[in-house]
Amino acid sequence: SFSLLPSSILLILFFSFHVISSAYVPVYVMLPLDVINPSTLHVQDIGKLSYQLKQLRTQANVDGIMMDVWWGLTERQPQQYYFQPYRQIIDLCASLGLKVQIVTSFHACGTNVGDPVKIPLPDWVRQNGRFYTDAEGFANDEYLSWSSDHASIFPTASGGKRTGLDCYSDWVAALIQEFKQEFEQGIIRTVEVGLGPAGELRYTSYPLREKSPGSGQIWRYPGVGEFQCYEPNMLQDLKTASDTAGHPEWGHAGPDNAGNYNDWPFDGNAQFFSDDGSDNWNSDYGHFFLSWYTGRLINHGSAILSRVGTQLLPFPNTTIAAKISGVHWWYDTESHAAELTAGYYNTIKYNGYLDIASMFANNTKPVEFQFTCLEMTTASQSDCTGHRQSCKSDPERLVYQTRDAAWRNNIAYSGENALPSYTYDKYNQIIKQSRVGDRVISGFTYLRLGDQLMQSDNFNRFKNFVGRMKNV
């Protein structure tokens, strides 16, 4: 009988009916944020960087690197571009066989977790720009608001005027001109287009900076954040939208019951995020406001991505990508409060990531959906008051939802770790999130190169991780 067959034959029969094919997930490593000295505009310790990149390539067998190319360092005067230090790094990568992912960093550095250096936007941008603004009137100059996109308020080199969108596309044109050969050869593998603070398509709803020196950090985890719609031109746009909707009373400001940065969804003055109420997120007013707030953000992303996508069409070996923030706190509530203030209209009743993925899919060149927090497990989110239920964090379901949104729209999905990770449990979680059935993510970018990663034990674990990602 079948049960009496030798065990070796049983094993052969088992594996012949359970073929598990492996897949290759390329791994990139982010360079340090301060790889370029903002004072000298020179590469910091090119000898050390060269040694580390050689180790990454020859010992860990990574596919490439990702680096921020900062607006604040490359266009200090209007339409006068300086990419020389980045040329050094890209030439070094090319000589080692490393691909390069470029982030068009149209945001400021020095306001996010772990930022070791301050790189503000160019002076001429800060002097003329419009910025996301909270209800207290604080205009956050980390990133230009979408109300700057079509406003001819920025200078040209010849004294004329141009829009925010013109500034972005002029910069990308200069980048392509500088590195045309590297684009043609596919050395520059990806252009990740910066669309908001930290390079992410979102509002400045949870700023880690101070409003003024000594005033203390504005937002602390796990606060719901604040809506950022109080820039005057954005308020005018809201008024126009409310008039068109037949509800002029909805157009004066954002919700007056959404609380403050560090409130929780069920606090008394944050009733907009509660599960019941006549003017909460689920009311007619709530739907109107959130649709406008998120819709304008998606339009902003689309306006930039369509221009850059067209500019990159001549380079079939280069992909275009955009990053969405992993706002995982309060995910397991009906309102998803922190996602709403960030500009993601995602609730128990509405899948907001499908709208973003659809915009990416319909771009002039389809956009890769980049997402963070792949290393996080829901069970490990024991912040807040000691157990994850207190802030309803669920990064694993959030990764699932965003990955599903991308794949349902037939676009690539790639990942990052949100925080530095050196342990096997983090690597195992990333590997787990990298494959669903026969489908794998298009790539993983590790945050970040530094002395701690290159320490012997950490580097050995990292090498093991990269090897496993090449055979997921």
Judge contact between 254 and 243, C-beta under 8 A.
no
Alpha-carbon distances of 282 from 262, 332, 420, rounded to whole Å:
22, 16, 37
Is residue 249 flagged as an active site residue? no
Cβ burial of 59 (10 Å; 0-12, 13-18, 19+) is middle
DSSP H/E element including 68? strand 64-70
Helix, coil or strand: residue 457:
helix
What values do phi and psi take at 211, rounded to 5?
Answer: -75, -35
What is the number of other CB atoms lying within 10 angstroms of the CB of residue 420? 16
What is the number of other CB atoms lying within 10 angstroms of the CB of residue 207? 23
Catalytic residue of the set 200, 334, 339, 396: 200
Alpha carbon 33 to its chain's center: 15
What is the number of other CB atoms lying within 10 angstroms of the CB of residue 15? 10
CA proximity to 68, closest of 89, 95, 52: 89
The sign of the dihedral angle between the CA atoms of 258, 263, 268, 273 is: positive
Helix, coil or strand: residue 139:
strand
Q: CA 275 to CA 282: how far, in whole Å?
A: 8
Q: CA 113 to CA 374: how far, in whole Å?
A: 17
The total number of residues shown for the chain amounts to: 472
| Residue 418, both tokens | 């949100």
Is residue 416 flagged as an active site residue? yes
295: which residues sit within 8 A by CB, 6+ positions away? none
Give the catalytic positions in this structure.
200, 416
